[in-house]
Amino acid sequence: MLRALMVSLLATALIGGLLYYTLKRSDVVYAQQRESQISQAAQQEAAAVSRAFASMSAVALVVDVAKVQESLVGAWRTNGLADTMVIDHGNRVFAASNAGYVGQQIQDPNWAAIRAQNREVLIRDEPTPGQERITVIEPIQDKGSTIAWARLTFVRPIPQDAVRSPQERLEQVGRIMVPVFVFLVAAIGIAMRFATSRMQQRIQSVVAEAMTDRPSSQDDEISFGDGAVRPDGDSRRAA
What distance in Å separates the CA atoms of residue 195 and residue 190, rounded to the nearest whole number? 9
Distance of CA 60 to the CA centre of its chain: 50
CA distance 80 to 39: 13
Spans of the chain below 70 pLDDT: 1-4, 73-77, 161-162, 213-239
Q: What is the pLDDT of residue 215?
A: 55
Q: Look at residue 165 in the predicted model and tell me its pLDDT.
A: 81
pLDDT at site 224: 45
Q: Which amino acid is at 157?
A: P
Q: In the 8-state DSSP scheme, what is residue 86? A: E
| Angle formed by the axes of helices 166-213 and 2-63, nearest 10° | 150
pLDDT digits (tens, 9 = 90+) for 47-102: 998 898 888 888 888 777 777 777 776 556 677 888 889 998 888 998 888 888 88
pLDDT at 137: 93
Contact 46, 154 (CB under 8 A): yes
pLDDT, residue 202, reads 79
- Topology given in CATH for the domain delimited by 2-157: Beta-Lactamase (3.30.450)
Task: Please write the tens of the pLDDT for every residue from 114-128.
Answer: 988 989 999 999 888
